[in-house]
């Protein structure tokens, strides 16, 4: 049966303005990076996506790479959109990315006009929509002139195939150059998508937070839970079936005594606040005014609901932030 959306969905989440634009995004966005390929059951994927919408999550983050295989996650969302959410398309912020490798051909990777705009056309077919709300350059391609990459993003907007544009995984200097070029073309940079967490403080260390405020774009951060390291999952070892055992993004060798000591200390801080480590970690990234939204994934509706409840806790105090700084050491458990 077609889903009947919750009537109070638009009152459940905090919304934040994306930089100096007129667009609000939910503080929690949903990403289809993992668990939305053909290796997971569609019924579960559909249930999670619809529950996200009912909880007030309107921003769904995708990319041509997401699967497996590549593009499968967009096809999953396209099916849910067609069968359940078509009547709510005007309430949705759909984003997709292009530029990371999706095949051996030189036209299936990089920041060329050919690569980006061809991928966008395919993504629109995958999603079953005539436009996306945000189209990203997935990562910087240093072998392609930035003017060409930016020109492709501008064309996507001018052709009505995207409403806004973003960049992801760009170093601050190149992000600034892209923002300048986009502003000159009349298509301001809406958002930058970096990795950011208690254990990965790169946006603080490299000046990206400051740059976002100066150049007027928002940050939509991914991996705020550090691939599960900022949850309680690995405090007592590696459970059977855990992501660390079969993920290319997280290896068992980083789950060592140092990681466990630091994660346990952070967990104690969270417990004293009556929340989980994951909820603490989400609150921590969202404390930054430059962070518009944090992207989460989920393997179940219960996990999704738990993470969204992070928004219900009181703000972190200065004393708590100092204790988090003591144990949330940059680089813990990660290959940077």
Domain ranges of the chain: 9-228+287-314
Structure confidence at residue 237 (pLDDT): 73
Tell me what pLDDT residue 240 has: 65
| Type and span of the H or E element at 203 | helix 202-205
User: What pLDDT is stored for residue 190 in this prediction?
Assistant: 98
Question: What single string gives the DSSP state of each residue in 254-322?
Answer: G-SHHHHHHHHHHHHHHHHTTS-HHHHHHHHHHTSTTEEEEEE--SSHHHHHHHHGGGGSPPPPHHHHH
Q: What is the dihedral of CA 115, 121, 124, 130, to 10 degrees?
A: 140
Sign of CA dihedral 21, 212, 184, 101: negative
Calpha distance 243→228 (Å, rounded): 8
At residue 154, the pLDDT reads 99
Enumerate residues 6+ apart whose C-beta is below 8 A from 8. Answer: none
Output the pTM of the full model: 0.96
User: What was the pLDDT predicted at 241?
Assistant: 61
Structure tokens at 77: 């969302």
Residue 249's pLDDT is what? Answer: 67
Stated as kind and residue range, the H or E segment containing 61 is strand 59-61
Ranges of the chain whose pLDDT falls below 50: none
Fold of the domain spanning 9-228+287-314? TIM Barrel (3.20.20)
What residues have CB less than 8 Å from 216, skipping those under 6 apart? 19, 20, 21, 179, 188, 189
pLDDT for the residue numbered 242: 65
Nearest to 121 by CA among 160, 79, 83: 160
Q: Which two tokens stand for residue 264?
A: 């346990």
């Amino acid at each position: 049966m077609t889903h009947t959306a919750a009537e109070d969905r638009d009152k459940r989440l905090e919304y934040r303005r994306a930089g100096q634009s007129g667009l609000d995004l939910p503080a929690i966005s949903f990403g289809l990076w993992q668990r939305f390929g053909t290796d997971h059951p569609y019924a579960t994927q559909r249930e999670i996506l619809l529950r996200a919408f009912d909880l007030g999550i309107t921003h769904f983050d995708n990319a041509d790479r997401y699967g497996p295989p590549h593009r499968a996650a967009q096809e999953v969302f396209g099916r849910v959109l067609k069968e359940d959410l078509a009547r709510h398309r005007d309430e949705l912020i759909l984003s997709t990315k292009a530029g990371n490798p999706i095949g051996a051909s030189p036209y299936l990777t990089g920041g060329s006009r050919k690569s980006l705009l061809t991928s966008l056309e395919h993504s629109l077919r995958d999603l079953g929509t005539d436009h996306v709300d945000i189209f990203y350059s997935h990562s910087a391609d240093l072998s392609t002139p930035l003017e060409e990459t930016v020109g492709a993003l501008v064309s996507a907007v001018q052709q009505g195939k995207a409403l806004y544009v973003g960049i992801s995984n760009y170093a601050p200097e190149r992000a600034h150059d892209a923002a300048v070029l986009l502003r000159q073309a009349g298509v301001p940079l809406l958002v930058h998508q970096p990795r950011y967490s208690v254990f990965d403080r790169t946006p603080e260390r490299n000046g990206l937070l400051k740059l976002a405020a100066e150049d007027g774009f928002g940050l939509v951060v991914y991996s705020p839970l550090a691939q599960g390291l900022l949850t309680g999952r690995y405090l007592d070892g590696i459970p059977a079936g855990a992501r660390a055992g079969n993920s290319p993004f997280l290896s068992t060798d980083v789950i060592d005594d140092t990681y466990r000591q630091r994660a346990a200390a952070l967990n104690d801080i969270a417990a004293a606040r009556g929340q989980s480590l994951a909820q603490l970690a989400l609150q921590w990234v969202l404390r930054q005014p430059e962070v518009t939204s944090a992207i989460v994934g989920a393997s179940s509706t219960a996990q999704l609901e738990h993470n969204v409840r992070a928004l219900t806790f009181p703000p972190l105090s200065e004393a708590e932030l100092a204790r988090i700084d003591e144990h949330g050491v940059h680089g813990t458990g990660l290959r940077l």
